[in-house]
Amino acid sequence: MRPILMKGHERPLTFLRYNRDGDMLFSCAKDHTPTLWYADNGERHGTYRGHNGAVWCCDVSSTLSCCCDKTSNLSLSLSCIRKEEEESFEKMRPILMKGHERPLTFLRYNRDGDMLFSCAKDHTPTLWYADNGERHGTYRGHNGAVWCCDVSRDSSRLITGSADQTAKLWDVKTGTQLFSFKFSSPARSVDFAVGDKLAVITTDPFMERTSAIHVKRIAEDPQDQDGDSVLVLENPEGRKRINRAVWGPLNQTIVSGGEDAVLRIWDAETGKLLKETDKEVGHKQTITSLCKSADDSHFLTGSLDKTAKACLPRVPVNAVSMSPLLDHVVIGGGQDASAVTTTDHRAGNFEAKFYDKILQEEIGGVKGHFGPINALAFNPDGRRLSCCCDKTSNLSLSLSLSCIRKEEEESFEKMRPILMKGHERPLTFLRYNRDGDMLFSCAKDHTPTLWYADNGERHGTYRGHNGAVWCCDVSRDSSRLITGSADQTAKLWDVKTGTQLFSFKFSSPARSVDFSVGDKLAVITTDPFMERTSAIHVKRIAQDPQDQDGESVLVLENPEGRKRINRAVWGPLNQTIVSGGEDAVLRIWDAEIRKWVTSSQSHRSVNQLMILTSLQLWDMRTLTLIKTYTSGVPVNAVSMSPLLDHVVIGGGQDASAVTTTDHRAGNFEAKFYDKILQEEIGGVKGHFGPINALAFNPDGRSFSSGGEDGYVRLHHFDSDYFNIKI
């Protein structure tokens, strides 16, 4: 590995953080200035000035960065892995990024992974270009060490927490200070909520004041910003410092950890303490670092008791991070700063160590720092890692994926899929138009994409969403597309031009969308969020976009309010709506009188008379169970052939349980079943992760699959497929 050394902070670094897309890296340091870097080259993008104390922490999402706390070389390093040199961690060549004058405290990438922000004790957060380690700029305004930072999902705003008793909000591009939240004690950590409408900030115990968690509302217009707290949670162990607090899934909870070695989960609405870890099985000493997985489903903690939970290193742990791509965790630490007797990186104590998350075994390490590692951050693309130490150096390591080869297989294996690369994050949904010449794909990278179905060539993308896109549907004349997203909107698009025609706004993520026959209505489901329940919304679609409004014709609330509705589709002749979700109940609603009956999750067939769930076939009119298909793996997606009596299912292991990404393992294949005889007739392998989406072409002669690996695979059937006999 050849690290890129990123110089920008003047004092020790305290924290590192990538944004969710992995193109930005944020660093915090004791120089008062959180800094933003480009994650691919390590170039500094800018700094956020306004803190008057050390910046302890910041937040964005997934790429790996680490920090250290001695003051001599005071630099950040970004390293890129070359494909021909991936055989060992020792071949990483970091880019050394010099800029801070005091120890670094924190690093953070932006969501796209092209910017890296660093915090240090020199008061100046710094922005770097993540690809080459070049410093873009600094954010000046803090009067104390900057402990932490976080960047909004659209990479427009940065928030930093500092020892100067303020948390500051910055404009990422201009470095302008937008607002300063003032406290009566140092601001230790900061974290934006999903949607960037809230931020959680922790403050240290100081004088007679206890450590606390503050929830602040973030105004869309900086002129409307105020400093009032929406919620304040005091630490039960008042004099013990809370080192980190982050948002849980869907902003419903807040997770905190600190000097009392207890991990706590709080209700974000009521402030009630929901759960805390038992000291007998939890950490024995101060929790120094807390990070969440890319899907927010689980957390990783590091502690001075020399453990990162699930991993057992031999040195005190200051920082931890999880790969968003592989089942790897990385931990960083070394000797306690006060006990350091050598600054030789070869001594081995100052390395970032990699562990297998499932097997809990050490698989490698990256050396190079000259002091304890204080911060780590994985780039959201899983290909890059950054780390910083007390010497204010940040090391960013680039990891690469192998390419999928198109191998010939017998029968089903004879299919030669067209590998369609365009999405940068896992796929969530696929949809063909009625004529079968267009394929629409949705993914977590915010950009629905249109492909030519015959050759897999990308036609264009639809830009406008600010969150993962969960679902889409196309009108029967292929003129309009509707998409549902985690950014709490469902958008209507012109298919040909890519123009956004209208945006339906909700108070929670839009999970699924479906046009009615005739395209005059659309059904949209929304997730449970905060105090809101999951619901089905029916919207009228105007023929002229100028006449479109956002009013709901009908709203149906889920009887199991806190259970998410995963899919809702129109029944025959638009007379009913069929829904299914987390409560494992299939419901049919009368579109006028709201009457419903129960059973299981739905997938619509071509003739709308049958629905297919996770390997169960139901009659659409009576909800009679027709067939059950046995699969040995969790099922994420199903589809039915419009031409033959075949069904195809896709899935694999749960993302959190995947221990191999080898397509030959068999868990990541699309399996075909005879719909009548219920027997498996074949399978198509190729994906390097669970399959999330499946769709048959309306002509029945091809199908597409989309996976967690970010690829769409387009399969054209050969003549042998149509002659299969059991």
* Confidence at 393, pLDDT banded by 50, 70, 90: very low
β-pairing, 212-217 vs 198-203, is antiparallel
d(C-alpha 471, C-alpha 524), whole Å = 10
* Confidence at 461, pLDDT banded by 50, 70, 90: very high
Give the CA distances from residue 57 to residues 17, 127, 199, 292, 632, in Å, rounded to whole numbers and listed in that order.
9, 14, 13, 15, 44
d(C-alpha 94, C-alpha 33), whole Å = 23
Calculate Rg over the CA atoms of the chain.
26
Mean pLDDT along residues 565-582:
86
Q: Above 50 in pLDDT, residue 347? A: no
697 phi, psi to nearest 5 deg: -65, 140
Percent of the chain surpassing pLDDT 70: 73
d(C-alpha 25, C-alpha 10), whole Å = 17
* Confidence at 61, pLDDT banded by 50, 70, 90: very low
Residues 157, 161, 165, 169, Cα dihedral to 10°: 0
Per-residue pLDDT of 524-533, as tens digits, reads 999 998 888 9
Q: Is the dihedral of CA 48, 170, 55, 98 positive or negative?
A: negative
Q: Above 60 in pLDDT, residue 340? A: no
d(C-alpha 187, C-alpha 514), whole Å = 46
Phi-psi region of 292 (alpha: psi -120 to 50; beta: other; left: phi over 0): beta
Q: Above 70 in pLDDT, residue 42? A: yes
Lowest mean pLDDT among 314-328, 441-455, 578-592: 314-328
Per-residue pLDDT of 584-621, as tens digits, reads 788 888 877 666 655 554 444 444 444 444 456 666 55
Q: Above 70 in pLDDT, residue 93? A: no
Mean pLDDT along residues 570-590:
83
Report pLDDT for 50.
84
d(C-alpha 385, C-alpha 364), whole Å = 14
d(C-alpha 182, C-alpha 204), whole Å = 13
Q: Would you list the domain boundaries of the chain?
A: 2-398, 411-723
d(C-alpha 231, C-alpha 210), whole Å = 15
Return the CATH superfamily for domain 2-398.
YVTN repeat-like/Quinoprotein amine dehydrogenase (2.130.10.10)
What is 623-645 written as a DSSP string? Answer: --EEEE---SS-EEEEEE-SSSS
Tokens 């949209």 correspond to what residue?
524
Enter the tokens of residue 634. 């969790």
Which has the higher per-residue pLDDT, 512 or 650?
Answer: 512
Report pLDDT for 411.
42
Q: Spell out where 259-297 has E strands.
A: 264-267, 273-276, 287-292
Report pLDDT for 450.
93
Check: CB of residue 104 under 8 Å from CB of residue 27: yes
Per-residue pLDDT of 473-506, as tens digits, reads 999 999 999 999 999 999 999 999 999 999 999 9
Return the CATH superfamily for domain 411-723.
YVTN repeat-like/Quinoprotein amine dehydrogenase (2.130.10.10)
Which has the higher per-residue pLDDT, 292 or 229?
Answer: 229
* DSSP helix/strand/coil, 669: coil
* Confidence at 624, pLDDT banded by 50, 70, 90: low
d(C-alpha 575, C-alpha 554), whole Å = 13
Mean pLDDT along residues 556-565:
84
Tokens 């990783």 correspond to what residue?
300
Per-residue pLDDT of 62-82, as tens digits, reads 444 444 443 334 445 444 433
Q: Spell out where 516-599 has E strands.
A: 521-526, 535-540, 552-557, 565-570, 576-581, 587-590, 596-597
* Arithmetic mean of pLDDT over the chain: 77
Which has the higher per-residue pLDDT, 257 or 388?
Answer: 257
Task: Give the number of other CB atoms < 10 A from CB of residue 297.
Answer: 12
398: amino acid identity, one letter: S
Report pLDDT for 232.
94
Strand order in the sheet with 646-651: 635-640, 646-651, 670-674, 680-684
Mean pLDDT along residues 626-646:
75
Lowest mean pLDDT among 8-22, 304-318, 595-609: 595-609
β-pairing, 41-47 vs 253-258, is unpaired
Q: Which residues pair with 398 in a beta bridge?
A: 384
Mean pLDDT along residues 249-265:
85
* Confidence at 726, pLDDT banded by 50, 70, 90: low
Residues 6+ apart with CB under 8 A from 463: 446, 447, 498
* Confidence at 313, pLDDT banded by 50, 70, 90: very low
Q: Above 80 in pLDDT, residue 517? A: yes
Highest mean pLDDT among 160-164, 612-616, 632-636: 160-164
Which has the higher per-residue pLDDT, 337 or 332?
Answer: 332
Find the angle CA(538)-CA(544)-CA(546) to the nearest 5 degrees: 95
Q: Above 50 in pLDDT, residue 344? A: no
What is 176-241 written as a DSSP string? Answer: -EEEEEE-SS-EEEEEEPTTSSEEEEEE--BTTBPPEEEEEE--SSGGG----EEEEEE-SSTTS-
Report pLDDT for 464.
94
Tokens 């690829």 correspond to what residue?
711
230: amino acid identity, one letter: V
Report pLDDT for 284.
80
Report pLDDT for 71.
37
Q: Is the dihedral of CA 530, 532, 533, 537 positive or negative?
A: negative
Same fold, 2-398 and 411-723: yes
Report pLDDT for 513.
96
Enter the tokens of residue 496. 């040909």
Per-residue pLDDT of 660-706, as tens digits, reads 444 444 467 888 888 777 777 778 887 777 887 787 877 888 887 87
